[in-house]
Amino acid sequence: MTQYVYTFGGDAVSDDPRAKDKTITGGKGANLAEMASIGLPVPPGFTITTEMCVKYLAEGANFDDALRAEVASALGHIEQTVGKKFGDPADPLLVSVRSGARVSMPGMMDTVLNLGLNDDTVQGLSTVSGDERFAWDSYRRFIQMYSDVVLGLDHGLFEEALEIAKEDKGYYNDVELTAEDWKALVAEFKAIAARELGHPFPQDPSEQLWGAIEAVFASWDSDRAKVYRRLNDIPGGWGTAVNVQAMVFGNMGDTSATGVAFTRDPATGERAYYGEYLINAQGEDVVAGIRTPQYLTKAARDAAGAQAPSMEEAMPDAYGQLARVFDLLENHYRDMQDIEFTVQQGTLWMLQTRSGKRTAKAALKMAVDMVGEGLIDEATAISRIDPMALDQLLHPTLDPEADRKVLTVGLPASPGAASGKVVFDADTAETWAERGEAVILVRVETSPEDIHGMHAAKGILTARGGMTSHAAVVARGMGRPCVSGASALSIDRKSKVGRIGGTEIKEGDVLTLDGSTGEVMLGAVPTIEPELVGDFATLMEWADAKRRMKVRTNAETPADCKMARQFGAEGIGLCRTEHMFFDAGRISSVRQMILAEDKKGRETALAKLLPEQRSDFKAIFTEMAGLPVTIRLLDPPLHEFLPQGDAEFEELAEITGYGIDHLRRRADELHEFNPMLGHRGCRLGITFPEIYEMQAQAIFEAAIEVAVESGEAPVPEIMIPLVATKRELEILKALVDKIAGEVFDAKGKTLEYLVGTMIELPRAALMAGEIAEEGAFFSFGTNDLTQTTLGVSRDDAARFLNPYVEQGIYPRDPFVSLDIEGVGQLVELGAERGRATRPDIKLGICGEHGGDPASIAFCEKVGLDYVSASPYRVPIARLAAAQAALKA
């Protein structure tokens, strides 16, 4: 027969591994049993398992005799251990009842304390404690809590009654109420409960207990709990355990106390006890903030210059017990612990322990320190760090001490902080930056035309667009802080004035952006520079040793390449060539090419672009010497390159000699309803082969020059975008091979290179087996693959994606974290079919997901060879890849 109840504390000993198994006794219950078993002072108690919860939810509240017998026996264990009887009017045992699921989960039933009190037992508590006020205060607290969390009554009714009572007496604070006052209030509370319930407040301790047990179970299916589970992907079938534990009191006078503590400093990671306590108080008082808690250690009190004595000074014995517990716990759990304790009349009792939350910096320091201390091994250290938390360490951050005047909060689109003078267009950004000014580029939204301005700027602020808008993606790629979608911002481009709420922002005014929080601040706020040495470097070295997948970067400028190499990138996974086309010096040649009426016209314009592209690639190959470089041939719709305003049309008319009407007509002809699904990617290469021919020529000529000059030949991996059929790749691979042959003949040198494709359309994933006949590598372009698989335009998703995530339709923004169950199927299938055709095919991912830990774990599972992330995400990807490899 399944055992549903496990005891802990006192002389309870169980070899049953289920007792300490979180899936059976929940996180809290398992840790209490664990602490008790290693000899720590835990008030005796018992846990009813999560399995019983599941049974209850399926079958209802028909607790059978077997369970009742188990509970009775477990209650007997508590009674025996503390020497009190449950419901004994002379000296009653009181218990707490708490929920406790496998993982910490808000939304379920909170604590009920002092259970077991009634009109009789309160007398016994009064007598035994010798403190009548304490007894009645405890009783009224119990009625209030139980009515709220178990009986579901409106807690406002009780608070109101308390307030009226205080007003009547002219009291300001609860502590002013006397034992008699509490007695009167207990009577009133009972009357309220009886009125609301239609029957008296339960007096029978056993009825109280079973009511609380049932309330815990039922709370698993509360609306709040369900929402939380959906958002956090917690299965509804887990259920929660119930923990029933003998009460201990931190409010039994000056030898009693209660506190919370961390075994190390959770902010810095320093190896120093860290925490707060209050004398003569119950747990809730520490959190409630009515009294100011005191420091745990003398050192901390000194450092803070506080008056109230530390626990080390005020209760040296109890503190000594606590310090020993700290060490025991760290040795046992091999991690920093977050603890709740109570001292009852000089005796320390442990109420909870769990792994403590910490800052990124502290996490790093503790992980590295603990390896040094021999507590954990390197693999454990690696798995302890949340890769995303590294983000905090990679960018300059605002000095937390500095004053800031926050004007509005947009989306934290690209982390880091930056201050600079506001400009409203990309050209001004560039001009001002060239003369040494720090500028913030402020736009309604950015377009590929703004790239040079974004590069020039220290930070980018947009009024529209989401976390994956053009501004956000490009900014993350460049490592520029960015706040996007700041909807309170409006811009009048003509007069070069912005407005956020009541504040007018003129060109040249100084703003500060915090891309990690989305805050937009007036004036300059001082920043702190990141440090990538010490613990950081040590941990990354360990991670690199453990990971299987390579980590590349998405980069297209020498500066980005340099930075990415510093961050540890092992090649380029995605070099987008279109950004090179937007350079101010080239855009008119590009436009000339697009607007040409025939192939000859296009070739003339392309001839002007060739030397420029060659020098781009040369710079990149030089920077990435010895590493693979994946270059994607031109991808976006041609109309993106077209002139936008009157001035640009006029300028172009002058250069090309075409009339403005002619140019406008051509631009209209190139307009597309859904450019994302339009004439772009390899469709350009098929219809205008001369464009790809020029790019291939530039790549091979540059590669050969670098090979000759440096003696180290780069291996260009030429990537054909937006392929949906084998035939497209066949045609364009033949084109690239032809150009390669021509260049090799002309230069009298050959070079190794690969031709492959992006898998970014569902059809490409489905047909990967055939496509692999032509392609030497696949790079999963999960940005576009997500757009097409889900049918969601990234640029238009803001209007519905937030409500979607809120309603649990997608657990997370699928452009931030890969939709594994949907898009993931296509990635897996594409990888499998590609490998079936070509076992040594090189597989990578170059969407934004290449920098997302959950997505990276998936890539490891599918067996990709590398992930490619924007430069600032490279360290995150290295760590995430190591964790994924360790898990596999």
**Binding site, residues?**
576, 632, 760, 781-784
Does 672 bind a copy of itself (CB under 8 A)? Our answer is yes
Q: 377 or 796: whose CB is closer to a copy of itself?
A: 796
Sheet of 497-500: strand order equals: 489-492, 497-500, 503-506
What is the DSSP pairing of strand 503-506 with strand 347-355? unpaired
- Give the residue with the Cβ less far from a copy of itself, 203 or 817: 817
CB of 724 to a copy of itself, least distance (A): 5
User: Phi/psi of residue 358, each to 5°?
Assistant: -155, 160
User: What's the alpha-carbon Rg for the chain, to the nearest Å?
Assistant: 33
Shortest CB 669 distance to a copy of itself, Å: 9
232 sits near a copy of itself (criterion: CB under 8 A):
no
598 binds a copy of itself (CB under 8 A): no
**Which among 46-54, 100-108, 146-154, 675-683 is the span making contact with a copy of itself, rule CB under 8 A?**
675-683
**Would you count residue 788 as binding a copy of itself (CB under 8 A)?**
yes
Among 734, 809, 836, 888, binds a copy of itself (CB under 8 A): 809
Residues tagged in the binding site annotation for Mg(2+): 760, 784
Contact indicator for 721, 633 with CB cutoff of 8 Å: yes
Tell me the window of 62-70, 83-91, 627-635, 760-768 that interacts with a copy of itself (CB under 8 A): 760-768
Q: Kindly report the number of other CB atoms within 10 A of residue 736's CB atom.
A: 24
The answer to whether residue 877 forms part of the interface with a copy of itself (CB under 8 A) is no
Nearest approach, Cβ of 684 to a copy of itself (angstroms)? 8
Q: Which residues, including other chains, have CB under 8 Å from residue 126's CB and lie 6 or more apart?
A: 132, 134, 135, 136
The stretch among 246-254, 412-420, 619-627, 718-726 that binds a copy of itself (CB under 8 A) is 718-726
Please write down the HEC assignment for all residues of 645-714: CHHHHHHHHHHHCCCHHHHHHHHHHCCCCCHHHCCCCHHHHHHCHHHHHHHHHHHHHHHHHHHHHHCCCC
With left for phi above 0 and alpha for psi between -120 and 50, is residue 82 left, alpha or beta?
Answer: alpha
Q: Does 679 bind a copy of itself (CB under 8 A)?
A: yes
Residue 724 interacting with a copy of itself (CB under 8 A):
yes
Q: In this complex, which beta carbon is closest to a copy of itself, that of residue 212 or of residue 474?
A: 474
766 touches a copy of itself (CB under 8 A): yes
Return the sign of the alpha-carbon dihedral for residues 205, 209, 214, 219.
positive
Q: Which stretch binds a copy of itself (CB under 8 A): 8-16, 557-565, 749-757, 790-798?
A: 790-798
- Site stretch for a copy of itself (CB under 8 A), options 65-73, 179-187, 476-484, 724-732: 724-732
Amino acid at 215: A
Residue 534 binds to a copy of itself (criterion: CB under 8 A): no
- Residue closer to a copy of itself (CB basis): 400 or 803: 803
Is residue 236 part of the contact set for a copy of itself (CB under 8 A)? no
Distance of CA 841 to the CA centre of its chain: 33
Residue 448 binds a copy of itself (CB under 8 A): no
Question: Most distant CA pair in the chain: distance in Å?
Answer: 105
Q: Does 677 bind a copy of itself (CB under 8 A)?
A: yes
Residue 446 in contact with a copy of itself, rule: CB under 8 A:
no
Identify which range of 143-151, 192-200, 351-359, 722-730 contacts a copy of itself by CB under 8 A: 722-730
Taking 3-state DSSP, the helix, strand and coil percentages for the chain, each rounded to the nearest 5, stand at: 50, 15, 35
C-alpha span between 469 and 755 (Å, rounded): 30
Q: Minimum distance from CB of 408 to a copy of itself (Å)? A: 18
- Told to check if 813 binds a copy of itself by CB under 8 A, we report no
- Which residues are the active-site residues? 470, 846
Q: Judged by CB, which is closer to a copy of itself: 210, or 810?
A: 810
Among 198, 657, 803, 839, binds a copy of itself (CB under 8 A): 803
**Does residue 727 bind a copy of itself (CB under 8 A)?**
yes
Instruction: Return the residue of 722, 735, 736, 869 that touches a copy of itself, per CB under 8 A.
Output: 722
659 binds a copy of itself, rule: CB under 8 A: no
d(CA 550, CA 359) in angstroms, rounded, equals 27
What's the token pair of residue 606? 């392309």
Taking the complex as a whole, the smallest distance from the CB of residue 773 to a copy of itself amounts, in Å, to 14
Binding mask 160-199 for a copy of itself (x = CB under 8 A): ----------------------------------------
The alpha carbon of residue 631 and the mean position of all alpha carbons in its chain are separated, in whole angstroms, by 31
Give how many residues touch a copy of itself by CB under 8 A: 49
Tell me if 793 sits within 8 A of 676, measured CB to CB: yes
203, 347, 656, 825: which one contacts a copy of itself (CB under 8 A)? 825
Which residues define the annotated binding site for substrate? 576, 632, 760, 781-784
User: Considering the complex, what minimum distance in angstroms separates the CB of residue 460 from a copy of itself?
Assistant: 19
Q: How far is the CB of 832 from a copy of itself (least distance, A)?
A: 14
Tell which positions 452-491 bind a copy of itself, by CB under 8 A: none
Asked if residue 50 binds a copy of itself (CB under 8 A), the reply is no
When binding is defined by CB under 8 A, the residue of 763, 812, 835, 861 that contacts a copy of itself is 763
Contact call for residues 227 and 113 (beta carbons, < 8 A): no
Q: Residue 173 burial by CB count (10 A; 0-12/13-18/19+): exposed, middle or buried? A: exposed
> In this chain, which of 172, 434, 673, 711 binds a copy of itself, going by CB under 8 A?
673
| 284-292, 326-334, 473-481, 815-823 -> range binding a copy of itself (CB under 8 A) | 815-823
Strands 274-279 and 294-295: antiparallel
Instruction: Give the one residue of 760, 774, 852, 860 binding a copy of itself; rule: CB under 8 A.
Output: 760
- Which CB atom, from 33 or from 823, has the smaller least distance to a copy of itself? 823
Beta pairing, strands 85-86 & 92-93: parallel
Q: CA nearest 778: which of 828, 852, 823?
A: 828
Strand-strand pairing, 240-246 and 112-115: unpaired
Q: Which of 616, 690, 784, 860 lies at the binding interface for a copy of itself (CB under 8 A)? A: 784
| CB closer to a copy of itself, 213 vs 764 | 764
For a copy of itself, which stretch binds (CB under 8 A), given 159-167, 170-178, 816-824, 854-862?
Answer: 816-824
* Strand positions, DSSP E, 356-404: 397-398
Contact with a copy of itself (CB under 8 A) among 233, 403, 821, 840 = 821
User: Of residues 430, 616, 717, 728, which one binds a copy of itself by CB under 8 A?
Assistant: 728
Rounded Cα distance, 362 and 106, in Å: 25
User: What is the distance between the alpha carbons of residues 777 and 161, in angstroms, rounded to a whole number?
Assistant: 73
Q: Which helix (H) or strand (E) holds 168?
A: helix 155-169
Report d(CA 115, CA 158) in Å as an integer: 18
678: contact with a copy of itself by CB under 8 A: yes
Q: Which helix (H) or strand (E) holds 417?
A: strand 417-423
Q: DSSP characters for 552-567?
A: EEE--SHHHHHHHHHT
Which is closer to a copy of itself, CB of 411 or CB of 555?
A: 411
Report helix, strand or coil for 442. Answer: strand
- If binding is defined by CB under 8 A, does position 281 make contact with a copy of itself? no
Chain centroid to Cα 621, Å, comes to 34
CB proximity list for 69: less than 8 A, separation 6 or greater = none
Sheet holding 5-8, edge to edge: 5-8, 45-48, 240-246, 95-101, 112-115
**Contacts with a copy of itself in 347-366 (CB under 8 A)?**
none
Residues at the contact surface with a copy of itself, assessed by CB under 8 A: 672-679, 681, 683, 686-687, 722, 724-725, 727-728, 731, 760-763, 766-767, 784, 787-793, 795-797, 799-800, 803-804, 807-810, 819, 821-823, 825-826
